[in-house]
Structure 1
């Protein structure tokens, strides 16, 4: 069995900010340990577990993880929140959550399986003695809370929720929160969702990503005041495409109801190319993202659809003459 001292899993620094916000809201004194993680992009899973255990000692209330999850904001989840907010269906959200889960919560590996008419999303692979009910509770509650309050999936029908630790005295609190049967002392901590739920559409309203995209689109339009309506649509398509990793010219041209050749000809007449236009958008997006202290350089590289952080850093230095770290530091001087 893997020993605790050998385990090197980590969590996203935004979760430390979540505990800080929760402590402030509940009038809990901020510990030195919690204060210390506020400036970290990531910190060890063992420290996350200890912070939650400390919180439990201060807030001796049932279902503490559910209470903490009520305070989650997109900024606490970083890249996953930004990507999820650009998805079109619940199935796509869960797929992206699976793809990038370790960036936010490396404390538990994520397993997604089909079992008949149900999809299971399970947290496992960590020895039982390393986890607590609270670590599993908050990992599931954060996903559920985010889907409900920021993705507007208020009517998600979950079939069952399973926890590996023994049942507490107040199971009713959990069943009221998840609105389904909740079982304890199970082999795996998991959410079980009916397959038909995956097609549920996300009606994008005035969401965080929409605000972000609109601000960036406006910044682009301000830089290109003489742009045509097609140029504006192209900029918006690239902005959205980067969020979904569909920024190549083929899907962008299709979104604009044009052939690739027509789009290339239009850009050629303006003395530019699709690659140049895309890099302009990436540059402006990069500067917007770097102003957000909750986003790490790895987060930003992924948001801009770079396969490696080093590729993003090279591109940014070509655009500005500075590394992303140097540019970010200059903003706070």
Structure 2
């Protein structure tokens, strides 16, 4: 993750859209500073903290961060939401969140430890001048992230801890998290029963997943003799790219074939495995480029390119344009 060091002290631009969505739902005039960050890929963590304090001034209430987090949608979370589409259970999604959380919310280092019977999810060194509001929205965003992808089941938390002084009305927090909430604790953390990690996630009915699968099917329809195996191959490559497990040996095993059998099938379709992977990479690239908050570096990461320059070269071959040129010419975005 060394290539992500430059993200220190910033948050994902989609969180600005989350705050705007909250303002609109509450019929609050959108502050000028919040308007100014709407089209940014990222903005400084200090600005994020100030925006939260502005909203707290406009609409003061206990548990404001919890209320804001309830409005979160996958589009507000960017790369983590895309990656979570391929996760099979809560533990895998949590591991993804741990690996990439700095791309969304880079205020404090996140640590995930499994010490039976609980998993501890905590923020180690707090950011400068932590507040109850920044802490509670960090935890609430994680909980909402996990809930977004659950298969209709609730997440059963054991306890939630905050380092801050207890407010007068703790019940707001206990009703939200549905567990014991303690204040004046050594660390801000979630305690989650390890058994929760095996709960399945939903992916098949997710809007973005459906969109990508529909586009994969459109690619498939262009083949002269499309078969059920081709459909399974498209889906395996699509999800494999999201897990960085898209190499031919992984995919062949997923399909119950030998590498040679898969190669022979593709020869009959007058194509190769690499050509099929590149087709799906291009389809995914055009979808990711429609999200203005995803940087080219993040898109390259989502497409399993080791370097952004490799992604740019491939895209130039596909379209005779750079990714940024294509994005400028083909996207309009409504937050």
Q: Distance in 2 between matches of 1:12 and 1:294?
A: 7
Give 1:270 shift: 3.1
Matches within 5 A, 1:24-43: 24-43=24-43
Give 1:236 shift: 1.5
Deviating more after overlay: 52-61 vs 180-189: 180-189
| Offset from partner CA, 1:104-123 (integer Å, 9 cap, x none) | 11112111113332110111
Contact 1:75 1:294 in 2 (8 A): no
Q: Distance in 2 between matches of 1:210 and 1:8?
A: 30
Calculate the TM-score normalised by the size of structure 2: 0.92
Matches within 5 A, 1:185-204: 185-204=184-203
| Offset from partner CA, 1:271-300 (integer Å, 9 cap, x none) | 322111111111121112212334332332
Give the aligned CA root-mean-square deviation in angstroms: 1.8
Q: Distance in 2 between matches of 1:36 and 1:197?
A: 40
Matches within 5 A, 1:55-94: 55-94=55-94
Q: Distance in 1 between matches of 2:76 and 2:286?
A: 20
Give 1:23 shift: 0.7
Q: 1:133 to 1:67 in 2, by over 3 A?
A: same
Calculate the TM-score normalised by the size of structure 1: 0.93
Q: Which residue of 1 aligns with 2:3?
A: none
Give 1:332 shift: 4.3
Structure 2 gaps, min length 5? 1-6
Q: 1:24 to 1:225 in 2, by over 3 A?
A: farther
Q: Distance in 1 between matches of 2:46 and 2:268?
A: 58
Q: 1:225 to 1:161 in 2, by over 3 A?
A: farther
Structure 1 gaps, min length 5? 1-6
Moved over 3 A (4+): none
Q: Which residue of 1 aligns with 2:20?
A: 20
Q: Distance in 2 between matches of 1:49 and 1:197?
A: 31
SS at match of 2:111: strand
Q: 1:222 to 1:309 in 2, by over 3 A?
A: same
SS at match of 1:231: helix
Contact 2:151 2:200 in 1 (8 A): no
Give 1:229 shift: 2.5
Figure out how many residues of one structure are paired with residues of the other and give that number. Answer: 326
Contact 2:66 2:140 in 1 (8 A): yes
Q: Which residue of 1 aligns with 2:305?
A: 306
| Offset from partner CA, 1:112-168 (integer Å, 9 cap, x none) | 1133321101112235x5211111111110111222244345321111111111111
Q: Distance in 1 between matches of 2:184 and 2:322?
A: 50
Give 1:223 shift: 3.2
Contact 2:39 2:293 in 1 (8 A): no
